[in-house]
Structure 1
Amino acid sequence: MKTIALIPARYAASRFPGKMMAVLAGKTVIWRTYESALQTGVFDEVMVVTDSDIIYNEIVSHGGKAIMSKREHESGSDRIAEAVENMLDVEIVVNVQGDTPFTQKGPLEKLLKVFEGEEGKKVQVASLMQELKDWKDIEDPNFVKVAVDRNFNSLFFSRSVIPYPRDKAVNTTYYEHIGIYAFRREALLLFTKTPMTPLEAAEKVECLRYLEMGIPLKMVVTDYMGVEIDTPEDLERASRYLEEK
């Protein structure tokens, strides 16, 4: 089962323009992300897929592998789908977000394991989540929340608080969706051929497209994954995280 990691990376991020090239403890965010994905050792190949000459040159100048995307894309999944279109020998594609410089081996192994065995054959898309305990984070729209069923299949993703605690006496667990996806190649290609769906457009959460297509995501609980770099404040948090390590 050939498994590759593709890291979609664009330069013009709306909340933090140029964040991929922001320096984190002497290395750019995108190079740290590439390096950490490679060092997990769970992939047959790791590549960055980008529309930016600056990001492309950053990766290849350090000896990494990068691909220039030819078309404009609305989402990271659309971008990597273009890259795997002609990779006929690839079975599982893992989308490692370019702003996740602390990728770890353990969570990725758990993520890939859900594709194994007879039950695993039914899984088309899987992703990671971690428990949120701080109410400030639960209310923060920068934290995408996910609600799941008893088998840990996704029910809904939202930047709002889900489930809403109408009854404060109920003990509710809140999960943050971590933007690392694993797809069967065919599911990824189907995704990119489907137009953006209404819920996806409203929430600006791309995995809602799968739910609107009738494809649930198998969610895997993991421990703390570090810091995703969405804002300048996140970059400061990531710096403190490295200092603590």
Structure 2
Amino acid sequence: MKVLGIIPARYASTRFPGKPLVDIQGKSMIQRVYEQALKATSLSKVVVATDNELIAEAVRNFGGEFVMTAPAHQSGTDRCAEVSRHFPDYDIVVNIQGDEPFIDPKQIDLVVSCFEQNGIQLATLVKAIHTNDELFNNNIPKVVMNSKQEAIYFSRHTIPYLRNAEKEQWLTAHQFYKHIGIYGYHAETLQEITKLAPSSLEIAESLEQLRWVENGYTIQTRITTIETIAIDTPEDLHKI
């Protein structure tokens, strides 16, 4: 099983323009993500997917590999699909978030482990929620799974709704999970899902994975205990 790790990196960002190039103690964010990804034992190759010459030059300077992509992609998934076509001999593609400079390589390996089972189309990670701040934060997508740990639904709202318990008691009455935004795709499935039209659930929640669920694709999950920190704004740099 050959696994391709792709790090989508775009310069344009409403909240933090140019964030892949921000300096974090002597290294750019994209370099830190790239170096962490190289530590994942499951990956056969790591490449950066970008449409920006400044990012490409930065990757070239630290000895990384990159692929220039079209500028019009609406999501990292679309960018990964374009890059994947350059490497047709890879079975699995992992979409590694370019704004998590200290991503744990074990999380990448955990996603890839889903594909040790036959027939897996898509994979992602979830993490148990332990605080009310996370549970009721609409910026943190939640996920519910079936008995096979396949994702049934994702929502920015708190799901499931506990009808017979006060909200202050929800954390003790039920185990909730949040979604960790790293994806694994079977290479053929990746090409298929990027041809799908945006779905009504996706538009309602602004979560692209709902397009896949709504079209009947199965998303296998694994539970991680590792916390990740994404850099969405300049203020987030203080977290790391």
TM-score (norm 1): 0.90
Paired position in structure 1 for 2:45: 45
Q: 1:90 corresponds to which letter in structure 2?
A: Y
SS at match of 1:93: strand
Q: 2:140 corresponds to which letter in structure 1?
A: F
List runs of 5+ in structure 2 lacking aligned partners: none
Paired position in structure 2 for 1:148: 145
CA–CA distance in 1 between the matches of 2:23 and 2:177? 29
Paired position in structure 1 for 2:80: 80
Paired position in structure 1 for 2:215: 213
Paired position in structure 2 for 1:62: 62
| Paired residues of 1:8 and 1:97 also in contact (CA < 8 A) | yes
217 and 57 in structure 1: CA distance in 2 versus 1, 3 angstrom threshold: same
Per the TM alignment, residue 107 of structure 1 is displaced from its structure 2 partner at its CA by 2.6
CA–CA distance in 2 between the matches of 1:127 and 1:17? 27
List runs of 5+ in structure 1 lacking aligned partners: 239-245
Per-residue CA deviation, residues 210-238 of structure 1 (Å, 9 max, x unaligned), is 10110121110011233111233322112
| Paired residues of 1:157 and 1:208 also in contact (CA < 8 A) | yes
Q: 1:24 corresponds to which letter in structure 2?
A: I
Q: 2:138 corresponds to which letter in structure 1?
A: P
SS at match of 1:114: helix
Per the TM alignment, residue 71 of structure 1 is displaced from its structure 2 partner at its CA by 4.6
SS at match of 1:193: coil
Does residue 121 in structure 1 map to residue 118 in structure 2? yes
| Paired residues of 1:42 and 1:105 also in contact (CA < 8 A) | no
CA–CA distance in 2 between the matches of 1:166 and 1:232? 39
Per-residue CA deviation, residues 127-152 of structure 1 (Å, 9 max, x unaligned), is 01111211112222221211111211
Per-residue CA deviation, residues 71-99 of structure 1 (Å, 9 max, x unaligned), is 51111000110111242211000000111
**Structure 1 vs Structure 2 CA RMSD:** 1.6
CA–CA distance in 2 between the matches of 1:203 and 1:98? 22
Paired position in structure 2 for 1:243: none
SS at match of 1:157: strand
Per-residue CA deviation, residues 185-227 of structure 1 (Å, 9 max, x unaligned), is 0000001111222221222211111101101211100112331
71 and 224 in structure 1: CA distance in 2 versus 1, 3 angstrom threshold: same
SS at match of 1:67: strand
| Paired residues of 2:8 and 2:79 also in contact (CA < 8 A) | yes
Paired position in structure 1 for 2:187: 185
SS at match of 1:129: strand
Per the TM alignment, residue 114 of structure 1 is displaced from its structure 2 partner at its CA by 1.9
| Paired residues of 2:37 and 2:108 also in contact (CA < 8 A) | no
SS at match of 2:185: strand
TM-score (norm 2): 0.91
Q: Give the number of aligned pairs.
A: 235
Paired position in structure 2 for 1:161: 158
Per the TM alignment, residue 121 of structure 1 is displaced from its structure 2 partner at its CA by 1.4
Q: 1:25 corresponds to which letter in structure 2?
A: Q
Paired position in structure 2 for 1:242: none
Per the TM alignment, residue 110 of structure 1 is displaced from its structure 2 partner at its CA by 2.5
Per the TM alignment, residue 19 of structure 1 is displaced from its structure 2 partner at its CA by 2.2
Paired position in structure 2 for 1:132: 129
Structure 1 residue runs of 4 or more that deviate by more than 6 Å after TM superposition: none
| Paired residues of 1:152 and 1:219 also in contact (CA < 8 A) | yes
